[in-house]
Amino acid sequence: MPTSPLPAPDDASGSADGTITRWHGYTLSPFQRESVRAIEAGQDVLLSAPTGSGKTLVAEFAIEACVAAGRRAIYTAPIKALSNQKFRDFRAQRQFDVGIMTGDVTLRPGAPVVIMTTEIFRNSLFERGEELDDLGCIVFDEIHYMDDLERGTVWEESLIFLPKNVRLLALSATVSNLAQFREWLTEVRGREVALVESKERPVPLSHFLHFPGLGPKRADRVRELPGREDPRRARDGRRSHARGADRRTRPGGGRVSANDLLDRLEQHDQLPALFFCFSRREVEQRARENARRRLLRDAERMRIETLFDELCGRFEIPADASLDELRALALSGVSFHHAGLLPLHKELVERLFTSGLLRLLFTTETFALGINMPARTVVFSSLRKFDGVNFDRLMTREYQQMAGRAGRLGLDEQGLVYAIVDPRDKLADLQKTIFGQVEPIRSRFNLSYSTILNLRHHLGERLWEAWERSFNNFQWSRMSRKKREQNEQKQRDAISRRLELLEEFGYLAGGALQKKGDIARRINGYELPAVELLDSGLFRALDDEQVAVLFSAIVFEERRSDLFRPVDPRLLGSLRGDAERIVGRVVEREQALQIFPTTRELDFAIAGVVSAWWRGASFDQLSELTNASHGDLVRTLRLVLQLLKQMRKVCAGDDAMAAMFERVHAGLNRAEIDAKRQLELGDAPG
């Protein structure tokens, strides 16, 4: 049954039959009107529409209506960058107070509207369930992210345990099994979920394949690819791909040239353009190569120079070589954006792009995820990317997410999308990516140790209900009896093995939660290494700097191309071996019990960098110790801070340990690492 109807928020007007057709100056599209009707009726809503078609407006309507009814609202996003943007968007509207809770920062958590990452919300369901009593609605943005191999289970768990009295608005890109997903939501929620689907874009897209030296052709009119190379060479190339060598990077610059295409975009007034690449190195190289273009007039150069300097002052961005390069590029109307940049530098580039003064932005795919920064044109350097093992074609859903950034509402009659063709591309693969059926959402259900412990704490013997109510079980229940039974056995075995390990290591005893288990259930992501090290008493033998280094070894994930100067062995001495043995015992038992993926072993490669940061080094000085990107170093140190916050909280009854974790947190959380300071600066007027 639907919950109580919601009152229409202020500034809403409609037709004679009561249907809202205009709100906040916008004329609602058919799918927006249909969604609003369902929201007003108090229904849960699953809304699917293309990128850039206006799903966010529906979310804002639902939130305003919820607040007007005297209830709180939560907006969840899959990545921190999108959470930060939504926080600023809602703050700028000044309709109501807004808070934010991510792993990096918490501001005004008691506000009527709170922006969260999905992980934080899932954790809140277990840790602070009583605080959700006044929650009226929740928006899950990018709900198709449930298909993510590593993080998708977080969305599934959140939906399974979402309180029945909370209205749900799930926003999704186009997927092929929406009806199945809606059927599961209806079953798990215990009431009908309204499905609203639209495939129309307010700004239509035109798709082109670009052949270097020959020019672009409409993708739907290409019947064969010209200039096919010798099949034996193609086979040799594929073998090289399988060995992990990106043969798009060739002598003389490496990549398939885009000069003639970019010349065309410049000459035919088809800028601004987002140029998507699938490696950070290529993003930066292409930006540097195109700085010569001088895409701005003198007056525009003066404006972007003024804006650049104003933003640097507002965000207190210190001058360094990286900032100097971004400034020089910006004066040409060019820039680049990827996860390896310092967060403040990414913020700077994003704000320059939204000003309309950047004409050509080279970026990786993360820029397309939810961040509302459209351009007239989108370019793909390739429709293949490295998946960690081989180079494979881009998924249709991924293509649509990125291509959907083309076409600015009110400015462009159509959005233009160009994919550069490589000699090894196959026409069938290109057409499948561009025009194929969008991939379905698949369950990635895989309970973590902390989730299992929380379920044991809250549900006791009903732990298995989590899997029974999962999308995984729902999808397999439609298959043959044999397959269904095989999957059920597989899932039960996976949970049973984790329960067996938790019993062995003293987190559970006879199925009952023990002290170690109660601590571990409140730590998310690194619960076993953190609790095993805590339980061993090792932390008490370390000074604050050593604790910082040890925590970094827990969270650090090294990229293959990163190099680090070896750490002074005296920093940890024999304690390093002790720590590695403690965590290694967990990994060995996981392997013996066939629990996969296993807990990551400690990695001390970053120890020297963390030690230098602890002692007051700047990021320029850290560059002398490693070639790792500043953005990756920030990410690691912020993960350390998140884990320290959790450890401080679970050790609240041990004053000495809690005080130590607090000191280490304070010692690391400065300058570029201080996410709260960055967000507050961005939230300031101006």
Strands 334-337 and 377-380: unpaired
Is residue 404 domain-shared with residue 498, that is, in the same domain?
no
Separation CA 191–CA 634 (nearest Å): 44
Q: Three-state SS string across 282-327, please? A: HHHHHHHHCHHHCCCCHHHHHHHHHHHHHHHHHCCCCCCHHHHHHH
| 391-415 mean pLDDT | 91
Q: Which carries the bigger pLDDT value, residue 107 or residue 254?
A: 107
Q: At 461, is the pLDDT very low, low, confident or very high (cuts 50, 70, 90)?
A: confident
% pLDDT > 70, the chain: 91
Q: What's the pLDDT tens digit per position in 302-345?
A: 999 999 999 999 999 999 889 999 999 999 999 999 999 999 99
From 406, 435, 464, the end of a domain falls on 435
Separation CA 315–CA 309 (nearest Å): 10
Has residue 158 been placed in a domain?
Answer: yes
Domain containing 243 — which CATH number? Answer: 3.40.50.300
pLDDT at 9: 57
Could you check whether the bond before residue 272 is cis, i.e. omega within 30 degrees of 0?
Answer: yes
| 226-243 mean pLDDT | 46
Q: What's the pLDDT tens digit per position in 206-229?
A: 999 999 989 999 999 999 998 654
Is residue 310 domain-shared with residue 364, that is, in the same domain?
yes
Has residue 294 been placed in a domain?
Answer: yes
Q: What's the pLDDT tens digit per position in 32-54?
A: 999 999 999 999 999 999 888 88
| 70-90 mean pLDDT | 89
Q: Report the chain's mean pLDDT, rounded to a whole number.
A: 89
Has residue 108 been placed in a domain?
Answer: yes
Domain containing 621 — which CATH number? Answer: 1.10.3380.30
Is residue 316 domain-shared with residue 418, that is, in the same domain?
yes
Has residue 104 been placed in a domain?
Answer: yes
Is residue 167 domain-shared with residue 289, that is, in the same domain?
no
**Helical H runs in 315-426?**
321-330, 343-354, 396-403
On the CB side of 661, CA atoms within 13 Å amount to: 22
Does residue 79 register a pLDDT over 90? no
Are 353 and 335 in contact by the 8 Å Cβ rule? The answer is yes
Which of 13-22, 140-149, 464-473 shows the lowest mean pLDDT across its residues?
Answer: 13-22
Is residue 187 domain-shared with residue 267, that is, in the same domain?
no
pLDDT at 126: 82
From 166, 197, 228, the end of a domain falls on 197
Which range of residues forms the domain containing residue 461? 445-505
Is residue 51 domain-shared with residue 192, that is, in the same domain?
yes
Q: Which carries the bigger pLDDT value, residue 265 or residue 685?
A: 265
Separation CA 181–CA 183 (nearest Å): 5
Separation CA 100–CA 18 (nearest Å): 35
Does residue 247 register a pLDDT over 60? no
- Scored b (16 or more CB within 10 A) or e, 446-477 reads bbbbbbbbbbbbeeeeebeebbebbbbbbbbe
Strands 215-218 and 205-211: antiparallel
Does residue 686 register a pLDDT over 60? no
Q: At 2, is the pLDDT very low, low, confident or very high (cuts 50, 70, 90)?
A: very low
Hey, which residues does 394 pair with through a beta bridge?
none
Is residue 190 domain-shared with residue 221, that is, in the same domain?
no
Has residue 20 been placed in a domain?
Answer: yes
From 435, 460, 491, the end of a domain falls on 435
Is residue 247 domain-shared with residue 357, that is, in the same domain?
yes
Is residue 398 domain-shared with residue 533, that is, in the same domain?
no
On the CB side of 264, CA atoms within 13 Å amount to: 16
Has residue 440 been placed in a domain?
Answer: no
Q: What's the pLDDT tens digit per position in 487-501?
A: 999 999 999 999 999
Is residue 272 domain-shared with residue 163, that is, in the same domain?
no
pTM of the model: 0.90
**Structural domain count, the chain:** 4
Is residue 298 domain-shared with residue 375, that is, in the same domain?
yes
Does residue 129 register a pLDDT over 80? no
pLDDT at 418: 98
Has residue 515 been placed in a domain?
Answer: no
Separation CA 389–CA 379 (nearest Å): 25
- Nearest Cα residue to 491 out of 466, 524, 516: 466
Separation CA 636–CA 610 (nearest Å): 9
Is residue 254 domain-shared with residue 178, that is, in the same domain?
no
DSSP symbol at 257:
P
Does residue 240 register a pLDDT over 50? no
Q: Cβ neighbours of residue 551 under 8 Å, at least 6 residues apart?
A: 640, 643, 644, 664
Q: Which carries the bigger pLDDT value, residue 299 or residue 93?
A: 299
Both tokens of residue 64?
């305003």
Does residue 249 register a pLDDT over 80? no
**Helical H runs in 111-258?**
118-127, 152-161, 178-189, 231-242
Q: Which carries the bigger pLDDT value, residue 402 or residue 133?
A: 402
Does residue 245 register a pLDDT over 70? no
Has residue 4 been placed in a domain?
Answer: no
Q: Cβ neighbours of residue 232 under 8 Å, at least 6 residues apart?
A: none
pLDDT at 11: 62
| 369-387 mean pLDDT | 84
Both tokens of residue 625?
């110790």
Q: Look up tokens 């083309």; give the residue.
A: 406
